[in-house]
Amino acid sequence: MTSFDCKYVWGWLYCDGKVMNDSVVGCVYDKNVVSFVKLYSNWNYEQVVNVVYKKLFIDSKLLKLKIWRRFMNPMTNMFIVALMVDDDDVEYMFDLLDDCGS
C-alpha cells in the first residue's frame, strides 16, 4: 500500500443517534450528519474534543460528550467503531489513514 502524508481529515459529526450493525458495510448511524469538522493530524485529544464542542455549539461545562470514531477494519473490510478517549486514539486514527504506524 502506498503511504500518503495525511495532514487532516474531515470528520462527520452525528448527534443523538445509534450505531447500527449492517451486514454489508459494518457499522452505520441511524441519523444524518449534522456537521463536518476538519481534524488536523498534529492535534491531540483535547484539541479534537474542543473543536467538536465548538462545532456543535455545546458548552463543555454543561454536557459531556462521548466521541466515537468509525474506521475500516483491514481484516474484514467492514466499518467498526471505537471510543476516542486519549491522544493515542487520535494518533491511531491518522496512522490508519497514513499507513505510517508501526
42-57 pLDDT per residue, tens: 999 999 999 999 999 9
The residues of the chain scoring below 70 in pLDDT are 1-6, 98-102
The burial of 11, by beta-carbon neighbours within 10 Å (0-12 exposed, 13-18 middle, 19 or more buried), is given as: buried
Alpha-carbon radius of gyration of the chain: 14
Q: Could you tell me the pTM of the whole model?
A: 0.79
The pLDDT, as a whole number, for residue 2 is 39
Q: Do the Cβ atoms of 21 and 78 come closer than 8 Å?
A: no
Phi, psi of 82 (to 5 degrees): -145, 145
Q: Where are the alpha helices (DSSP H) in the chain?
A: 45-55, 87-98
C-alpha grid cell, residue 68: 466515537
Domain boundaries, the chain: 8-98
Residues facing 78 on adjacent strands: 73
The pLDDT assigned to 1 comes to 38
